[in-house]
Structure 1
Amino acid sequence: MTPPFSPARLHAEAGEPLVLARHGFFWTGVEPITTDDGPAVRGQTYVEYWIPQDLRHRLPIVMIHGGGGQGLDYLGDVAGGEGWVHRFVRKGYAVYVIDRPGHGRSPADPKIQGPLGPSLPAPMVERLFSAPSRFPDRYPGAELHTQWVGEGRYGDETFDAFLAGMGPMNADAAQHYTDCRRGGVELLDLIGEAILLTHSAGGPVGWLLADARPGLVAGIVAVEPLGPSFQGAPPGALTWGLTAVPLTFEPPATTPEDLELRETTLPSGVTAVLQKEPARKLPKLAGVPVAVVTGEASWAMGTDPGTVAFLQQAGVAAEHVRLADHEVRGNGHMMMCERNGDEVADVIASWLSSKDL
């Protein structure tokens, strides 16, 4: 029997060749420090680039992973197939995929990078990502989840492979996102104007980069970004609306307490925390088109409406792209890794095309 990941098997099962003009990596956000052991660096971001031979789009896509994941979330599905990196490269986009500081190939030494929080236990990963329909206390809509490959439970081959790539986040959310912003700003300064594709706890990075470099962010696709606005749960309270560190508001807000808040029920029935009117605006994000993408069977169906409402109230051109409205069904929070990830990528590509991106 031919081993499943042998060159012969992978070559035989390959479809259309993936032809690249360039493929490589570099680092951004490297901060020199002095430790008890001598000079060191911290806060670095690993960046891997994929440049197609058939480059059909002027703007590259920067893919920013979520939570305890890493850039490999975009490099394949849980069955070992191609991921969103390959799918967008095949569509003619240059892609830059990062490992946020302390994740994946970006080192996570707590003595240098800062203390780490706990990793998610396997049952929590099952409940939130891979097998929500199997839990009696499941969130609304979890019963619709159908797109995970395999049983989605500990001991199943595809689940264990997914769990193997997960790790803890930095315990200090403000420090982590400050590091992410520094590395992301340097990345944009190096590559020029780009589209940001963020996921989950990578969502704040998109808002922070658009705030810091509005002329270099052409659009944001936020796949179930960390939220809703002003939430206080791990991985860090969103004291500035959708981030744990300051954004530029108009009129200016010097502390989170300057943002007067109110709880409201949205037309969808979801409860959200928004600003009191007249709301402060986010002027640096005002010219950036935003799509917030939500899976039909994800818990984010209950959080993303609040995120969209906060952005719209702050003057951001944000649209809520519900996959079910595009007849893409059964997706949970890790939609890029699920069996129909190509269909989700097509919805995103269609939105980008509608914005001439």
Structure 2
Amino acid sequence: MTRTGESAMHAPWTFTQAPVTSRRGFFWVTGDRVAGPDGSRLDSPMYVEWESPVNARPVPVVLVHGGGGQGTDWLATPDGRPGWAGYLVQDRWTVFVVDRPGHGRSPRPDAATAPVPPLEGAAAIFAPGTDEVHTQWPGPGGAGDPAVAQLAAGFTGLPRDLAAAQALEGARLAELLAQTGPAVLITHSAGAPAGWLAADARPDLVKAIVAIEPVGPPFVRIPEAGLSLDWGLTAAPLTYDPPATSAGDLDPRRPRALPRLANLPVAVVEADASPLAAACRPVAEHLNGAGVAAQHLRLAEHGVHGNGHGMMVELNNREVLDVVTGWLDTALAGDDQR
């Protein structure tokens, strides 16, 4: 691949970000207690890492990772540069980074999961190494790329029961919002359903959603990948109007309203060199057809080119984030973000 502005790969532990005065820590969204023969246990707690700068903006950001990844996807890039979490703190946003249940530091021992994707599978999605248009991946691409290995090292298998997993993730995210107060959700890929479900459960606590190449298109079914979005955007139930008592009530040709998301600003972000970009337009159209004010945000139309599905970890990740936060500044204009 030919790249613009490529530099030598940093060691993964080397950070070039300017120092920021902040407070940071972590906690758990502990979830429900489940009684057992020898006492009670916590049902699938969710790990949350947070950082808040001096003079923080009033609305925080919650970062929700995709697929089989984890919260570290937002903390730094595979070649050791700053990730979106650090840049957002630098720009005075308080940031909450989650590990969805069953991923990263959020244990879910009772969840049956599919095998961890091979390096070849990770490379096919994030850095195939054969696409001359994809210029922003920080390495040569392919299964032998050290940057692909750094990203894939944190992968876990996808859940076999997708509907149950998404319902749990949406519930934990809603519980987190009850603690943080109204926040912006930035989701990636297969983390998007947790965002839709959390907003459906607590629309009063979501100020906006930025969906980075969300899983789709709506109602897609790919049995061999364990993917079935029976409720349009999700595998778990959403609130529609007219009401749907089961997914079988829904007809993709006759859109129903999503009333609990109706007043929510949404951006669906698409990169110009991603193998998964094709789902973005149908997701945005489905949302708009359901009465949601969704904007299809194409990076290429903002002068940002060469990105794949993992745009938040690529060479120009700061430029991509600037497009996102520029949209947020407009979407949150009614909230004092100074």
Residues 252-296 of structure 1 show CA distances to partners (whole Å, capped at 9, x for unaligned) of 11111111233xxxxxxxxxxxxx2xx310010000000000111
Asked if the contact 1:249–1:283 (Cα under 8 Å) also holds between the matched residues in 2, the reply is yes
- C-alpha spacing 1:348/1:79, structure 2 compared with 1 (3 Å): same
Distance 1:126 1:248 in 2: 36
2:129 counterpart of 1:153 = no
Asked if the contact 1:29–1:186 (Cα under 8 Å) also holds between the matched residues in 2, the reply is no
Distance 1:90 1:242 in 2: 33
Gap runs ≥5 in structure 1: 135-141, 263-275
2:34 counterpart of 1:33 = yes
* Bigger mean CA offset, 299-308 vs 281-290: 299-308
SS at match of 1:125: helix
Partner letter of residue 267 of structure 2? A
Gap runs ≥5 in structure 2: 1-9
Partner letter of residue 94 of structure 2? A
CA RMSD of aligned residues (A): 1.8
Q: What's the TM-score, normalizing by structure 1?
A: 0.86
Aligned length in residues: 322
2:117 counterpart of 1:120 = yes
Residues 20-40 of structure 1 show CA distances to partners (whole Å, capped at 9, x for unaligned) of 0x2111111522224577542
SS at match of 1:218: strand
Distance 1:14 1:285 in 2: 39
Q: How does 1:65-144 map to 2 (within 5 A)?
A: 65-109=65-109, 112=110, 114-131=111-128, 133-134=129-130, 142-144=131-133
SS at match of 2:296: strand
Partner letter of residue 211 of structure 1? D
Distance 1:150 1:37 in 2: 51
Partner letter of residue 50 of structure 1? E
* Bigger mean CA offset, 194-203 vs 175-184: 175-184
Aligned to 1:349: 325
Residues 145-179 of structure 1 show CA distances to partners (whole Å, capped at 9, x for unaligned) of 11111112233322211121111122111111121
Q: CA deviation at 1:245?
A: 1.0
- C-alpha spacing 1:190/1:325, structure 2 compared with 1 (3 Å): same
Asked if the contact 1:44–1:179 (Cα under 8 Å) also holds between the matched residues in 2, the reply is no
Aligned to 2:188: 199
Partner letter of residue 58 of structure 2? R
Aligned to 2:55: 54
Partner letter of residue 60 of structure 2? P
Distance 1:196 1:258 in 2: 29
Q: CA deviation at 1:299?
A: 2.0
Aligned to 2:203: 214
Q: Percent identity?
A: 43
Aligned to 2:21: 19
Asked if the contact 2:219–2:252 (Cα under 8 Å) also holds between the matched residues in 1, the reply is no
- C-alpha spacing 1:286/1:150, structure 2 compared with 1 (3 Å): same
Residues 323-357 of structure 1 show CA distances to partners (whole Å, capped at 9, x for unaligned) of 00011111000111111100000000100011126
Q: CA deviation at 1:144?
A: 1.1
2:181 counterpart of 1:189 = no
Q: CA deviation at 1:315?
A: 0.4
Distance 2:30 2:324 in 1: 28
Distance 2:275 2:12 in 1: 34
Asked if the contact 1:336–1:344 (Cα under 8 Å) also holds between the matched residues in 2, the reply is yes
Asked if the contact 1:30–1:41 (Cα under 8 Å) also holds between the matched residues in 2, the reply is yes
- C-alpha spacing 1:226/1:192, structure 2 compared with 1 (3 Å): same
Q: What's the TM-score, normalizing by structure 2?
A: 0.91
Aligned to 2:268: 292
Distance 1:156 1:251 in 2: 50
Aligned to 2:212: 223
Asked if the contact 1:196–1:219 (Cα under 8 Å) also holds between the matched residues in 2, the reply is yes
2:214 counterpart of 1:238 = no
* Bigger mean CA offset, 36-45 vs 114-123: 36-45
Partner letter of residue 50 of structure 2? Y
SS at match of 1:77: coil
SS at match of 1:261: coil
Aligned to 1:331: 307
Q: CA deviation at 1:180?
A: 0.7
